[in-house]
C-alpha cells in the first residue's frame, strides 16, 4: 500500500510549515515552484523531517499535532530526540509513526494543506495563539470565538478585536479569496460544497464565509446555508461560518473582511465568500476578494437584462449553473453574457484579464475541475501582471475608509448632544415641521460642536 507522508519544512524566515501528502516528490516540486501561498513568499525552504503513515487520517492527525507544537518541540522532532519530545509534551506523540528520516528539499505543493505558522517572538494573546498554533479542535473554537468577538458592537470587544487582528495580520494574506454571488436559487451553496470537496481532495484547506440576509422586520437571520453543505460542513479540512448581513448593503456582512483574515491566519489557503442572493447592484464582495464569480441560470433574461446588471461588469468569471437541465438555454445564455461582457471590456475599466463564461452542473459535479483550472489561470495571470497585489492594496485602502465611515456614524449616534435632540428632531421631520436636510445639518453641527444655529424648528 502506498504510504502517506507528514512532512516539516523550514522556511527562509525561520518559520516552519507542516503538511501531508501521498506523493512527497511531487509535493516538494510544487513547493519549489512557489505554488503554495505560505511558502511561496518564504523560499527557499528545506525539508527537515518526514514520516510515513499507513493511512491519510494518521498523517493528517500527526500534522495537526505538529502544528500545535512549540519551536523547541519541533526542533527536537527534527533531531530525532523523542525523549526530548516526550519531555516537552504531556503525552507521547508517536501516533503510529513507522519511520522518520530527515532529508533536504525545497519548494511547496501546488495544493497546500495546512500552512505552518511562524513562531512569534512577542507572545500572542491566548486566543490568537490558539488560532495560529492550536490543535484542530482548539483552532476551530478559536476561529469561531475570534469572528464573534470581531462582530460584537461592544466598545471593549472592539478594542480587543483590533488587538487580535493586529496579531493575526502578519499571518494572513496567503490564501486565494473567491467571492461567489448570484440570484437566490442559482445553486451557490450546492456549488460551493462541490467545489470545496474537490479542493480538499487536491490538498487544500477551505474556509467558507456565508452571508444570510437579516429580516427588515425582526432583525433576525436563519443562517441556514451550512445545512445545505452537509458533507463539507463536517470535513476536518473545511470551516464554514454563516453570518447575518445585519442590514449591511452589498450582499456581505459588516465584518466579512475581518473574518477572512482570521481564516487565513489559521492556515486556510482557499477562502470563499458566499453572498446573500443578489440582484443588479450588490457588488461589495468584488471589493474584498481576489476573484469575483457570478452565478447565473439558463433563461435568466435577454441581452438587455445581462447588460443592465451592474454586478455583471465586475465579474471575473460568470458561471451558468444547472446547465444539465436545458443545454440549449444554457448555451444561449452563455452567448448572451459573453456578448455583454465584451461590451463592458470595450467601455469599462482597463483589465488584465478577459472575463470568461462557462457552464457547469453543481448538483452532478460536472465542470468543477474546469472551473478550478480557470481560477488557477486567473490567479497566475494576475500575479504575473502585479494586478493581484494592486487589487489587494486598493481593497485595504477601501476597507480603512469603510471603517472610518462606520466609526463616524457610530460616534455621531452616541454623541450626548445628538442623543438629547435626536428624538425631538426626528419627530419634527416626521410631522413636517422641519425639512430633513435642515435637521441633518443641525444634528451634524451639534456633533461637531459647531456654533451653527440649531434652533430653527417651528414652535
Q: Does domain 172-394 have CATH number 3.40.50.2000?
A: no
Tracing cell 480603512 back to the chain, one arrives at 400
Q: Which CATH fold would you assign to the domain 395-448?
A: Helix Hairpins (1.10.287)
User: Please, which residues bridge with residue 212 across strands?
Assistant: 244
Find the distance separating the first CA and the last CA of the chain, reported in whole Å: 89
Q: How many residues does the chain have?
A: 459
Taking a C-beta distance cutoff of 8 angstroms, is the pair 425, 442 a contact?
yes
Q: How many C-beta atoms surround the C-beta of residue 339 within 10 A?
A: 13
Q: Which of 304, 298, 344, 339 has its CA nearest to residue 320? A: 298
The pLDDT, as a whole number, for residue 242 is 87
How many degrees, rounded to 5, is the angle at CA 36 between CA 33 and CA 38?
A: 120
401, three cell numbers: 475608509
Task: Render pLDDT for 328-344 as a digit per residue (tens, 0 to 9).
Answer: 988 988 888 888 777 76
For the chain, the three-class secondary structure string (H helix, E strand, C coil) is CCCEEEEEEECCCCCEEEEEECCHHHHHHHHHCCCCHHHHCCCCCEEEEEEEECCHHHHHHHHHHHHCCCHHHHHHHHHCCHHHHHHHCCCCCCCCCCEECCCCCCECCCCCCCCCCCCCCCCCCHHHHHHHHCCHHHHHHHHHHHHHHHHCCCHHHHHHHHHHHHHHHHHCCCCEEEEEEECCCCCHHHHHHHHHHHHHHCCCCEEEEEEECCCCCCCCCCCCHHHHCCCHHHCCCEEEEEEECCCCCCCCCCCHHHHHHHHHHCCCCEEEEECCCCCCCCCHHHHCCCEEEEEECCCCCCHHHHHHCCCHHHCCEEEECCCCCCHHHHHHHHHHHHHHHHHHHHHCCCCCCCCEEEECECCCCECHHHHHHHHHHHHHHHHHHCHHHHHHHHHHHHHHHHHHHHHHHHHHHHCHHHHHHHHHHHHHHHCCCCCHHHHHHHHHHHHHCCCCCCCCCCC
Distance CA 272, CA 255 (A): 14
Domain with CATH 1.10.287 in the chain: 395-448
Domain with CATH 3.40.50.300 in the chain: 172-394
Domain with CATH 3.40.1440 in the chain: 4-100
How many degrees, rounded to 5, is the angle at CA 86 between CA 84 and CA 91?
A: 165
Q: Is the peptide bond before 44 cis (omega within 30 degrees of 0)?
A: yes
Alpha-carbon Rg for the chain, nearest whole angstrom, is 25
Q: Does domain 4-100 have CATH number 2.30.42?
A: no
Q: Give me the residues of the chain with pLDDT under 70, please.
A: 1, 37, 89-124, 213-225, 246-253, 277-283, 300-310, 344-351, 450-459
The pLDDT, as a whole number, for residue 380 is 92
Amino acid at each position: 500500500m502506498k504510504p502517506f507522508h507528514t512532512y516539516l519544512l523550514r522556511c527562509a524566515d525561520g518559520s516552519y510549515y507542516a503538511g501531508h501528502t501521498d506523493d512527497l516528490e511531487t509535493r516538494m516540486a510544487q513547493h519549489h515552484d512557489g505554488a503554495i501561498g505560505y511558502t511561496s513568499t518564504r523560499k527557499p525552504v528545506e525539508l527537515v523531517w518526514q514520516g510515513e503513515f499507513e493511512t491519510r487520517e494518521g498523517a493528517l492527525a500527526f500534522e495537526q499535532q505538529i502544528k500545535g507544537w512549540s519551536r523547541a518541540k519541533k526542533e527536537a522532532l527534527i533531531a530525532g530526540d523523542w525523549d526530548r519530545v516526550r519531555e516537552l509534551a504531556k503525552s507521547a506523540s508517536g501516533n503510529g509513526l513507522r519511520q522518520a528520516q530527515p532529508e533536504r528539499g525545497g519548494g511547496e505543493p501546488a495544493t497546500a494543506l495546512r500552512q505552518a505558522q511562524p513562531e512569534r517572538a512577542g507572545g500572542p494573546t491566548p486566543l490568537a495563539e490558539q488560532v495560529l498554533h492550536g490543535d484542530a479542535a482548539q483552532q476551530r473554537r478559536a476561529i469561531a470565538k475570534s469572528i464573534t468577538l470581531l462582530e460584537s458592537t461592544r466598545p471593549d470587544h472592539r478594542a480587543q478585536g483590533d488587538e487580535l487582528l493586529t496579531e493575526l495580520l502578519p499571518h494572513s494574506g496567503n490564501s486565494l479569496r473567491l467571492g461567489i454571488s448570484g440570484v437566490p436559487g442559482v445553486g451557490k451553496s450546492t456549488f460551493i460544497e462541490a467545489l470545496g470537496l474537490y479542493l480538499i481532495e487536491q490538498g487544500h484547506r477551505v474556509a467558507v464565509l456565508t452571508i444570510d440576509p437579516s429580516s427588515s422586520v425582526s432583525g433576525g437571520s436563519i443562517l441556514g446555508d451550512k445545512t445545505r453543505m452537509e458533507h463539507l460542513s463536517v470535513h476536518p479540512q473545511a470551516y464554514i461560518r454563516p453570518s447575518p448581513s445585519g442590514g449591511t448593503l452589498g450582499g456581505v456582512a459588516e465584518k466579512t473582511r475581518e473574518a477572512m483574515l482570521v481564516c487565513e491566519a489559521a492556515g486556510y489557503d482557499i477562502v470563499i465568500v458566499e453572498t446573500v442572493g443578489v440582484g443588479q447592484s450588490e457588488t461589495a464582495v468584488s471589493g474584498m476578494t481576489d476573484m469575483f464569480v457570478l452565478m447565473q441560470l439558463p433563461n435568466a433574461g435577454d441581452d438587455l437584462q445581462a447588460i443592465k446588471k451592474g454586478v455583471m461588469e465586475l465579474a471575473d468569471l460568470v458561471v451558468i449553473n444547472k446547465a444539465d437541465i436545458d443545454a440549449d438555454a444554457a448555451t444561449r445564455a452563455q452567448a448572451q453574457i459573453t456578448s455583454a461582457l465584451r461590451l463592458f471590456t470595450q467601455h469599462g475599466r482597463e483589465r488584465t484579464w478577459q472575463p470568461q463564461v462557462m457552464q457547469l452542473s453543481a448538483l452532478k459535479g460536472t465542470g468543477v475541475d474546469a472551473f478550478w483550472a480557470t481560477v488557477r489561470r486567473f490567479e497566475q495571470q494576475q500575479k504575473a501582471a502585479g494586478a493581484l497585489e494592486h487589487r489587494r492594496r486598493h481593497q485595504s485602502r477601501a476597507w480603512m475608509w469603510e471603517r472610518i465611515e462606520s466609526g463616524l456614524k457610530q460616534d455621531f449616534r452616541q454623541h450626548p448632544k445628538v442623543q438629547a435632540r435626536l428624538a425631538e428632531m426626528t419627530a419634527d421631520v416626521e410631522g413636517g415641521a422641519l425639512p430633513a436636510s435642515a435637521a441633518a445639518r443641525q444634528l451634524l453641527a451639534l456633533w461637531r460642536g459647531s456654533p451653527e444655529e440649531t434652533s430653527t424648528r417651528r414652535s
